[in-house]
Amino acid sequence: MSDARRIRPIMKGLRPYYLEKIMHLNPLTIPEMLTHIRRVAETKMLSERPSDRQFAVMSVRQEEPIMLEMKDMVKATMKLVEEIQEERKLGNEKNVRKNVEDKKDEH
């Protein structure tokens, strides 16, 4: 099967945007067609990329809820740390009392 016959079914399977862009380039081989598809995809990706200003605004808007959620997580974590420290402190006091009582019983 020649490349021209193999290219036809591949071209039919392309999305309309790619088909429109690649059809007029008239690729003759499969590697040539793949090269054109990659170039069109890269161009599309670059043209759809938001500008730096839009990206900065989008980033800030997206970070606001995340930052609030992170603050809540940090508060919850700090509360847990304080509780653990308090439990350790109480546990150490109990151990110290037990050791003192054990030493008294030895004498």
pLDDT at 81: 83
**Averaged pLDDT, 75-81:** 81
From residue 21, alpha-carbon distances to 4, 26, 38, 49 in Å are 18, 10, 11, 19
> 16-23 vs 3-12: helix axis angle to the nearest 10?
140
Model confidence pLDDT, tens digit, residues 37-72: 888 888 887 777 666 666 656 655 665 666 666 777
Residues 6+ apart with CB under 8 A from 41: 18
Model confidence pLDDT, tens digit, residues 19-31: 888 888 888 888 8
pLDDT at 26: 87
Where does the pLDDT of residue 96 fall: very low under 50, low under 70, confident under 90, or very high at 90 and above?
A: low
